[in-house]
Amino acid sequence: MTLSPGSESTTSLGHYGLIAGVFDELGISDLIDTLLPKKSGHTLPYSTVLKAMCINGLGFTERRLYLFPAFFENLPTERLLGEGVLPEHLNDDVFGRTLDKIHEYGATELFNHIILQAMKHIPINPRLGGFQKSLLQPLDIKCSFS
């Protein structure tokens, strides 16, 4: 691949790359795709939209639903959310449909499934109360962006 002068550009992942990487490494996307399958006609699967919501929610900014597209304008969405995902795909209709689907499925039920999925990958003993000794040990989570 040959680049012409001035054609290079960089975009910062910031801490969003960590959020996206852990989301994928814990298998949360696959779980959500299983529990909330994509309907025909939708551009993005619910798992991608939920990952975008997590990135936005952990972005330390207050954004209303209709402002989500502006949040993702300067972020490398294809790198964070998957190939072909563009900021214009992340609009309030997409987020609204996803929230409706989560409500229909049951938010608590979905959350419980996600927690159980995460616990398969993170060595936390659920029987320990209060202080979690296992949290003091380094975790072996490998994240890769290809």
Per-residue pLDDT of 49-77, as tens digits, reads: 999 999 888 876 666 777 778 888 888 99
pTM of structure? 0.75
pLDDT in tens, 4-56: 666 666 777 778 888 999 999 999 999 999 999 987 777 899 999 999 999 88
pLDDT for res 130? 52
Task: For residue 54, give the nearest of 78, 81, 93, 75 by alpha carbon.
Answer: 81
- Give first-to-last CA distance, the chain, whole Å: 17
